[in-house]
A and B are shown apart, each in its own frame.
Chain A
Amino acid sequence: MLDYPAIDANIAVEPYGVSADGQMDVPDDAALAAWYQFGKTPADGVGTTVIAAHAGSEETPIGPLYALKDARPGEEVTVTDEDGQRHQYHVSEVQQLGKEGLDFTPFFERTGEHRLVLITCGGQWMPEESSYADNVIVIAEPAQH
């Protein structure tokens, strides 16, 4: 479960992998988020935990993570893992990057300092491709206790 009060986002999270086309597999319904199961969990304390959801879908026209475009550094995000453990983060960076040719390597790290990476889509809607032009990527660092 991902809880991001400042943008009013509260969304269930399930493990997902990779689609046949080599892209991250994301549930069709924007009301459900995918955790990249080949990456790290919050409890691992290393590398990135990647959580992604559709901006919108048939069932859920405005998905909870659509509001990631309004995210601001310093805001608090909480991930509750499957063991019921709560992991608190503070947003450190909000990026909006063109999907075309975007290298996701920096966001799917399995070593280095632990970070939470939230991804959805945004920017210009491109009707001819039935897709948004950009990915909205929010990076959060573990809160210090």
Chain B
Amino acid sequence: MRTSLPLAATAALGLALAGSAAPAFADQHEDSAAHLSVLHAVPDLPVDVYVDGELTLDDFMPGDLAGPLELPAGDYEVAITAADAADDSEPVLGPVSVSLEEGMNYTAAAHLDAEGAPTVTPFVNDISEIAAGEGRLTVRHTAAAPEVDIWANGEVAVESLANPDEASLDLPAGSLEAAVSLAGETDPVLGPQSLDVAEGSHTIVYAWGSAEDGNLALATQVIDGMHSAPDGVPTGNVQVPNQQSQLALITGVGILGLLAAGVAAVSIRRARA
């Protein structure tokens, strides 16, 4: 079934895309909405993107990321044409049906498959809460290349990732040095390059392009707002001396004598250690 976009959503779609990334739309958290970003990862091919027959991305260039668009949940038909097409009657890719569920976050990536043929993969982005102090990193293989290993800080972090698979992990926020090699090899085909994993955010890295054509590249998408509060604020690990406890100590000295006072002093020092 073909669901047509309500007028308001169509207007929002065009506006958001015209301004590329439009954070204002991402901030509206309507329960019934889904978020959709679109990544163009097919080398050398400027395209137009049609959603339900409407031109929504004009002259979309390779390496560009559009969105996120806030769309009502439902089914959408996406067709990709050459940039100079008059309408979506002769798509170079699709039409593909994309089903968006409410509250979910998607990236539709137009990219090459392992053999170099254009394809579209609808990725679901994990927007679940992230522990305080951590960021989420996902790597997606969307390049015309065999299986690859993903390196982080000089070590293999993900082994034998195949097109169009992804690998994801939460790790302490900060920057790391990332590289991509063909599976089992050590020479990087991409990188090494510095990659910032922001706290409370989901950083998604796409390896795209073609190994054969020598135009492999990385594209990065960041989704923020999944932060959470720390588990606690441990600000009281040492007892603050006050008049009451000093009085108790003096009384203790009087009753138990010097030996006991010595023991008490030792135990208090231990408690503060």
Contacts and interface: CB of A to CB of B under 8 A. Distances in A.
Main secondary structure of the interface of A (DSSP, over half): loop
Contacts of B132: 18, 22, 24, 38, 108
B169 interface: no
Interface of A: 17-19, 21-24, 26, 30, 36, 38, 52-58, 61-63, 65-66, 99, 102-105, 107-108, 110, 119-122, 125, 127, 130-132, 135
A54 B173 CA distance: 25
Contacts of A127: 239, 271
Given A55-B235, A55-B236, A55-B238, A17 B229 contact: no
Contacts of A103: 229
B241 interface: yes
A62 B241 contact: yes
B271 A38 contact: no
Contact of B200 (A38, A55, A63): A38
A21 B172 CA distance: 12
Interface residues of B, number: 25
A52 B231 CA distance: 14
B133 A52 contact: no
A62 B228 CA distance: 31
Given A38-B132, A56-B240, A108 B235 contact: no
B173 A38 contact: yes
Contact of A23 (B134, B231, B271): B231
Among B228, B236, B241, chain A packs the most CB atoms within 10 A around the CB of B236
A58 B232 contact: no
A1 B256 CA distance: 46
A55 B240 contact: yes
A22 B230 contact: yes
A30 B238 contact: yes
B227 interface: yes
A58 to B, nearest CB: 6
